[in-house]
Structure 1
C-alpha cells in the first residue's frame, strides 16, 4: 500500500486552510505553515474585522431611519445615538480571534499539522520553515500550495504611523471615533470604510482619483451609492489624486495633485494591495510572477513549476476570500485526482459592503457596453417593492442580464440592504444556466425584497 501524498501549504488564509481541509479529506498528509495566525488577513485584519465593524454601522443606519418607521428616540432634543468605538473595536478583534481559533480547531480535528513559522520554497519539492525561535525545518513535499496573501500598498508620499495615518489593517486600535476621517481611494475597501464611518457618526471625506466612487463596479450601482453617501453628508472629491499625506500633531493633511489640501483628524489609505511573495524562494522552483509580483496561475491553480500551486491574493485573481478558498480547493482536487472544474470567474458573486450594499455576479454592464456579449436586460427599481416601502428603503434596484433567444441568465446586479444575501438566487441561476423564466417561476415570499428578483426575471420573458 503506497504512502499518502504529502502536501505542504504556505499560508493560513482561506486559500490555505480550505486547501488543507480538502487535502486531508482526500487522504493526504498535510502540513500548513503559518506565520500570521490561522485565517490569515481575511480573518484577522480584513474581511471578518471590517464586516464586523460594518455590522455596527448597519445598525446605526437603521437607527437613522427610525423616525420614518414611527420610532421616536426621546433621550434628548437631537435624538442622537452614539457609538463607543473602543467597545466596537474590542468586539471586532475578539470575534476575529474567535474565528481564527475555530478554524485552527477544525484543522486539528481533520489531522492537518499547523506549523508556526515562515516558509520558503527550496526547489519545487520542498519547503524550508524558519521558526520563531531561529530554528529551521525542511519539509519534503509531493505538492506545495502557496497562499501567502497580500498586504496594503504603501507609497513613499503617504507613510502610515498607526495612529492617525492608517492602513485598513490598523483601524481597529482606535478608541474614539475620528472627528474628520479622510479616506484615500474609492475602490471597494475605501468605499466600505467611508460608508461605515459615516454611518458611525463621523465626518468623512472620500478622495477618489476617478470621476466616481467604485470605478470598477456597475456604473448604475455606483451612481446610486454616491448619491446616497452625498445625501447623508459625505464629502466626495472626484477626479482628485492624492499627492501626499502628512501629520502635524492632531491634524492630518492630504495634499492633492491639483494644489488643493484637505485637513482632517485621521486618514485611511486604501490605495491597493501588493502580493506577499518576497522571500518565498520562487526562483528556486521556477515559479513565474507578473510585473507586479503576483504569482501566475492557470484555472486549476497551477504555477509554472510542476507540483507547485498557488491560491488567493498572492495570485491577483479576483482578490476575494471566496475565490481564494475555491482556488485552494481546486488545487487539491486537481493534484489528488478528484473531480475538478476549472475556476470560472463568470460565476463568481461578490459584494461591496456599503450602505446600500452592491452585489454582482456573472457578466457585467461594462462587458455588455463593450460589446463582449449580447444580452437582453432589465433594471427594476426597489421603490415599487412593497417590502422595501415597509422598511423605508428608497434606494436600489435589481438588474438582470439574459441571452437573447435562449433566455439563459448570465449576470445580475442587486443594490439594496443585504444585497449579499439577495444575489444568491441570481448566482444559482448563472451557475446552473437557468433561464429567466425558470428564475421567475420559483416561488418567492410576499412581501419580500427578493420578490423583485423574480419580478425582474418575469419582465425578461420574451424580451
Structure 2
C-alpha cells in the first residue's frame, strides 16, 4: 500500500484547480480537492461571469435610448436591482453545480473545507482537523482584492461584495484606474448611479496601449462618469447610509457606496506555505518554474496565486499542463506568450500583443490606427466612436499588436488572436477580403500608416 492517501491533493476549487484535478483523475491518479467556499473560484463566483452579466444589464439603458432612432417607441424603462441579483445568483449556482458534478464524475474526492499545509506532503482540513497525505500538492487558491489602509478604509467595499449589494446606490465613488475599476464604473453608471472614479495615477488603464486607455477614458466621460486623475481618497466618514469621501485634492464627494478597486494580491496568507518550505515572492505570490513547480518538488501552483498572468483561461491551461506533465506522461508547458484578453469596460476592449510603447522599444514599427463612428450609432445619434489599431514590425511585417475599443471588441480579438499567434503579416491582413458592413472590416482595410512621431529613429 502507498504511504499516501492521494496521488494529488488540490487546494482551491477555482478554474485552474478544478481542471488540474479532473485531468489528473482522467489519467488514473487518486485525486482529492478542498474548497472552503464555493467551486468555480473568482471567475465564476465573484469575477468575470457575474461581472459580465452586470455589464449586459447596465448596457440595456443605452439600448433603450438607441432603439428610438431605429423607429421603436420604448416606454419609460424601470430597473429592478433585486431581480437582477436573484437571476445572477441562480446562474452562479447552476455553474457551481456543474463544476462539482464534473469533479464527481471524474472520480475526484471533494472536501468542502479550508486546507492548509503541514509539510511538503501533508495538508490539514480545518473543519475537523483531519490530516491527509498526498504525493503531490497543487496550490490553486487564486487572488483576493487589496484595499490600501487609510482613515475609514473599512467603509469601502471590494469587487467581492459588489455582486451582493442589498440595493443599488444613487451615488458611488470608485477608487482605482485598472480594468476592474473602469468596468464597475461603467456598470454603476449604466444602471443609473452617479459615478466618480478617482485614480492616483496620470492615466487610466496604464498597462494597456496608451491609445486604448485614452479612448476609453474619453468615452467614459461622454457617458457622464466623472474621472479625477492624480487624485486619491484621503478618508471616508459614515453618517448612517451616507458616506463622505475626502479627496487628496481637497474636495469631497457624498456617496452611498465606495468601491476600492485598487488591485488584487495572491491569496497565500495562512496557507502554511512557509511551514512546508515554500518561500513567497515580493507580492506574496508563489514562485514557480515553467512546469508550475515550486522549489519544493512535491508542491506545485497554478493560476493567480503565482501572479504570472491573472486570466482564467491561463489558469485552466496551467492546470491542464500540470496534470498532463505529472500524471499523463505528456510534458507540457503552459504558453504565456501572445495571450489575448478582453476588458468589459463600456466601450469594451479587446487586445493582443505589444503596446505601441513596447513595440517601439524593440525596434522600428508602423502604426495603423482608425477611429470611426460605427453603423450602430448612426441612426441612434449616439456620440460614441470605435478605435482599431495595428502595430506592425517594419522589417518582418509581422503584426505585433492588435488593439480594439468598441462594441464586440472581445469577440473580434479572439479571431484576430489566431492570426497574430500564427505570425500573420500586415500583408496577410490586407489580402483578407473585408466582411461588409461590419466594424471589424476596418482591421483589413487600413492601408496608410501614421506619420512617424517627431524625433523617432
TM-score, scaled relative to structure 1: 0.89
- Which shows bigger deviation, 390-399 or 447-456? 390-399
Counterpart for residue 61 of structure 1: 62
For residues 376-400 of structure 1, what are the alpha-carbon distances to aligned partners after superposition, in whole Å with 9 as ceiling and x for unaligned? 33112243x6577578674112212
Q: Secondary structure at the match of 2:274?
A: helix
Q: Secondary structure at the match of 1:305?
A: coil
- Equivalent position to 2:303, from 305, 309, 312: 312
Counterpart for residue 331 of structure 1: 322
Counterpart for residue 111 of structure 1: 107
Q: Secondary structure at the match of 2:205?
A: coil
* 1:120 and 2:116 aligned: yes
- Give 1:121 shift: 2.1
Query: Considering only aligned residues, what root-mean-square deviation do their CA atoms show, in Å?
Result: 2.5
For residues 281-330 of structure 1, what are the alpha-carbon distances to aligned partners after superposition, in whole Å with 9 as ceiling and x for unaligned? 21233212112211112233122211311111211122221222222222
Residue 387 of structure 1 contacts residue 447 of structure 1 at CA under 8 Å; is this kept in 2? no
- Equivalent position to 1:157, from 146, 150, 155: 150
Are residues 87 and 387 of structure 1, via their aligned partners in 2, closer, same or farther at CA, if it must alter by over 3 Å? closer
Are residues 441 and 336 of structure 1, via their aligned partners in 2, closer, same or farther at CA, if it must alter by over 3 Å? farther
Gaps of 5+ in 2: 453-457
Are residues 387 and 194 of structure 1, via their aligned partners in 2, closer, same or farther at CA, if it must alter by over 3 Å? closer
Residue 69 of structure 2 contacts residue 380 of structure 2 at CA under 8 Å; is this kept in 1? no
- Equivalent position to 2:134, from 140, 144, 166: 140
- Written as runs of structure 1 = structure 2, the 5 A alignment for 1:35-434 is 35-73=36-74, 75=75, 80-131=76-127, 134-141=128-135, 143-157=136-150, 165-336=156-327, 338-369=329-360, 371-383=361-373, 389=378, 394-434=384-424
Are residues 26 and 61 of structure 1, via their aligned partners in 2, closer, same or farther at CA, if it must alter by over 3 Å? farther
- Give 1:424 shift: 1.3
For residues 145-178 of structure 1, what are the alpha-carbon distances to aligned partners after superposition, in whole Å with 9 as ceiling and x for unaligned? 10111211133326566xx732111122334321
Residue 184 of structure 1 contacts residue 270 of structure 1 at CA under 8 Å; is this kept in 2? yes
Are residues 343 and 364 of structure 1, via their aligned partners in 2, closer, same or farther at CA, if it must alter by over 3 Å? farther
Residue 387 of structure 1 contacts residue 449 of structure 1 at CA under 8 Å; is this kept in 2? no
Are residues 103 and 405 of structure 1, via their aligned partners in 2, closer, same or farther at CA, if it must alter by over 3 Å? same
Residue 15 of structure 2 contacts residue 41 of structure 2 at CA under 8 Å; is this kept in 1? yes
Residue 13 of structure 2 contacts residue 35 of structure 2 at CA under 8 Å; is this kept in 1? yes
- Which shows bigger deviation, 100-109 or 151-160? 151-160
Are residues 320 and 391 of structure 1, via their aligned partners in 2, closer, same or farther at CA, if it must alter by over 3 Å? farther
Counterpart for residue 452 of structure 1: 442
For residues 114-152 of structure 1, what are the alpha-carbon distances to aligned partners after superposition, in whole Å with 9 as ceiling and x for unaligned? 211112223222322222xx24131322x2210111211
Counterpart for residue 455 of structure 2: none
Q: Secondary structure at the match of 2:33?
A: strand
Counterpart for residue 13 of structure 1: 14
Q: Distance in 2 between matches of 1:198 and 1:8?
A: 43
Are residues 64 and 218 of structure 1, via their aligned partners in 2, closer, same or farther at CA, if it must alter by over 3 Å? farther
- Give 1:204 shift: 0.6
Q: Secondary structure at the match of 1:94?
A: helix
For residues 196-247 of structure 1, what are the alpha-carbon distances to aligned partners after superposition, in whole Å with 9 as ceiling and x for unaligned? 1111111111111112222222211111111111112111111101222221
Q: Secondary structure at the match of 1:211?
A: coil
* 1:435 and 2:431 aligned: no
- Which shows bigger deviation, 222-231 or 150-159? 150-159
Q: Distance in 2 between matches of 1:249 and 1:283?
A: 43
Residue 17 of structure 2 contacts residue 140 of structure 2 at CA under 8 Å; is this kept in 1? yes
Q: Secondary structure at the match of 1:55?
A: helix
Tell me how many residue pairs correspond in the alignment. Answer: 447
Q: Distance in 1 between matches of 2:444 and 2:319?
A: 34
- Give 1:103 shift: 1.2
Residue 4 of structure 1 contacts residue 28 of structure 1 at CA under 8 Å; is this kept in 2? no
